[in-house]
Chain A
Amino acid sequence: MSLVTLKDLSIRHSGNPVLTDVNFTIDKGEIVTLVGPNGSGKSTLLRAIIGALRPSSGQVIRAPGLRIGYVPQKLHIDATLPLTVRRFLSLPKRVSNSVAEQALDQAGAGQLAGRQMSRLSGGQFQRVLLARALLCDPQLLILDEATQGLDQPGSASFYQQIETVRQQLGCAVLMVSHELHVVMAASDRVICLNGHICCEGEPEHVASAPEYRALFGTGTQGALALYRHEHNHSHDSDCGHDPQSHKAAE
């Protein structure tokens, strides 16, 4: 069975629909990327999967005993909280030194065990978060805009790390990213979200889909051009976005 299945998932936030009738599955070993504009419900979808949000209607079905490694979007650690990397890895469950070291190595964060969390650079911090997510030997790794705040080489090397991790562990990866060109290259499947699933499929398919172009306009063309050079057709969108407004900006 699939690792996670969402059936007609709807989530409302103080009365406003954030997600409407989302159907989604992720299978063993797949890399799935969620793209969508700000406020399109990407993080909400991830939070529903880890159980932080209760669906207003519909179902979130997780495979029994599913081990999820979660890398949050941002983690602010208050400067008043003293916390070494090693101690952080033992939250909430104590892990042995060898397990901790292995996870740090896998995440490319070896040598950091003794450092204070609040003194890490952005890239180091994300790798430590990744190491923590790897401790449970996850079947599904969930990353929520994990490279936010990293510069381009930094995020590129972070994605390479994730690719390496996936090859080693064989886990599925579900991630949200705004760096379309990077994620498009690495993903098996891309889901374009804007309150509902606008379109999904292989990266090339999504990149050329009219719904996707309606959402992102041509502003991403330069980036996407790395992987796909021709956007030579345009369809009328039927999913409620306004392609006209984007066209007007062209």
Chain B
Amino acid sequence: MMLFDSFLIYPALAGLGVAIAAAPLGCFVVWRRMAYFGDATAHASILGVALALSFEMSIFAGVLIVALLMAATVSTLSNRGYAMDTILGVLAHSALAFGLVAVSFLQGVRIDLMAYLFGEILAVDLLDLTVIWAGALLVLTLLWWRWSALLTATLNPDLAYAADIDPRREQLVLTLALALVVAVAIKVVGVLLIAALLIIPAAAARPFAATPERMALMAAAIGAISALGGLQLAFVFDTPTGPTIVCLAAMLFALSSVTSLLFRGSSA
């Protein structure tokens, strides 16, 4: 039996690329409790779409710029008297609102807002695919290169300083990687569900991993299964693809949680 019809090859490869890049980064998002940060960056990217469309540049570039701006704003505003989740709550939702308003101002451009909010993986062309894989490989290279330093800085900033690692630089590396993932994932799952692709596979992998590396690899595998399986399920049941991918990931998370509960219950 053929798993994929040939017209599903591009979407499958696109989903795979995003899932594999998002998973290890998602582990850091989980370990560092940056889930809201990921959400805020992703939501802000709709503003990037508006920017890209009004200045006629690529969506990728527009989203990347706004995601980086968002990250800079968050780090500037943090430690200024508001709790982090308050700042992110304000920024995430206002960025989304401003983005939606900005898009409505664009005259003469007919855009399908739904495509950016929930992704449009079936419309991926060769250029999109190239951008997605280039971005994904860049993220993976970045994480591979900084892995030890990132982990040390995640454990404790002072431990990092004592080992001549500047935790602020590592934070910047993560921010950059996050902006890249958001920029490449927008076509696949859309603004609203990018954070899900970061967090759910990592969370599902946690109970079965003994080391950070294994958790990242398992998260990548779970992400890949969700992307490919979700694509196929969406095709079979004629459901929207992005949400179907996330649904499958969520079911894998549920399965992982139940399994680990049972396992722990029997061994205790």
Binding site for B on A (CB under 8 A): 47, 50-52, 68, 70, 72, 75, 77-78, 80-84, 87-88, 91-94, 116, 142
Contacts and interface: CB of A to CB of B under 8 A. Distances in A.
B268 to A, nearest CB: 13
Contact of B159 (A70, A81, A82): A70
A52 B158 contact: yes
B162 A93 contact: no
B206 A72 contact: no
Given A47-B158, A91-B148, A78 B210 contact: no
Instruction: Give the interface centre of A52, A88, A91 by most chain B CB atoms within 10 Å.
Output: A91
Instruction: Give the interface centre of A75, A83, A88 by most chain B CB atoms within 10 Å.
Output: A83
Interface of B: 30-33, 148-149, 151-152, 154-165, 202-203, 206, 209-212, 214-215
10 contacts: A70-B158, A70-B159, A77-B155, A82-B206, A82-B209, A82-B211, A82-B215, A92-B152, A92-B163, A142-B162
B156 A78 contact: no
Contact of A68 (B157, B160, B162, B206): B162
The A interface is mostly helix, strand or loop, or mixed, namely: loop
Contacts of A51: 161-162, 164
B73 to A, nearest CB: 20
B199 to A, nearest CB: 10
A80 B206 contact: yes
Contacts, number: 65
Nearest to B214: A82
Nearest to B30: A80
Nearest to A136: B163
B212 A83 contact: yes
A131 to B, nearest CB: 13
A75 B159 contact: yes
A135 to B, nearest CB: 10
A144 B85 CA distance: 30
A68 B161 CA distance: 11
Instruction: Give the interface centre of B33, B203, B211, B215 by most chain A CB atoms within 10 Å.
Output: B211
Nearest to A73: B158
B2 to A, nearest CB: 38
A92 B151 contact: yes
Nearest to A129: B159
Contacts of A88: 155
Contacts of B159: 70, 72, 75
A52 B151 contact: no
Cβ-closest 4 pairs across A and B = A70-B162, A52-B161, A92-B148, A92-B152
Contacts of B32: 78
Contact of A75 (B155, B165, B209): B155
A142 B161 CA distance: 13
Given A80-B30, A92-B163, A72 B151 contact: no
Contacts of A84: 210-211
B30 to A, nearest CB: 5
Contacts of B152: 91-92
Given A50-B162, A70-B159, 17 more contacts: A47-B158, A51-B161, A51-B164, A70-B162, A72-B156, A72-B158, A75-B159, A78-B31, A80-B30, A81-B154, A82-B209, A82-B211, A87-B211, A88-B155, A91-B155, A92-B148, A93-B163
